[in-house]
Amino acid sequence: MAVTQPPVHSPTRTEKVMAIIVAILSGIVASLVAYMIARHLGATALVGAGWSGGSFVAALGVVRGIEKELGIL
């Protein structure tokens, strides 16, 4: 019995836009969490904003990398 492969599906423009929105929202959540943790640990607002920005960039990069590997972007 032969195994049939599903047809190759290229993501549409809407799916690509949704993937980018998911990546941005993931970055926003990571930045808010990092800011709250920094402030809870006694950091100043400026240090918290730095942690927040770094976490946003890191989370955005990770999610976009995963989406590229899955073929969504």
- Residues listed for the chain: 73
Q: How far apart, in whole angstroms, are the C-alpha atoms of residue 43 and residue 35?
A: 9
Q: Which residue has the higher pLDDT, 38 or 71?
A: 38
Q: Is 44 exposed, middle or buried (0-12, 13-18, 19+ CB in 10 A)?
A: exposed
pLDDT score at 73: 85
pLDDT score at 4: 80
pLDDT score at 10: 87
Least Cα distance to 32 among 19, 47, 18, 51 occurs for 51
Could you tell me the pLDDT band of residue 1, with boundaries at 50, 70 and 90? low
What pLDDT, in 10s, does the model give residues 12-37?
999 999 999 999 999 999 999 999 99
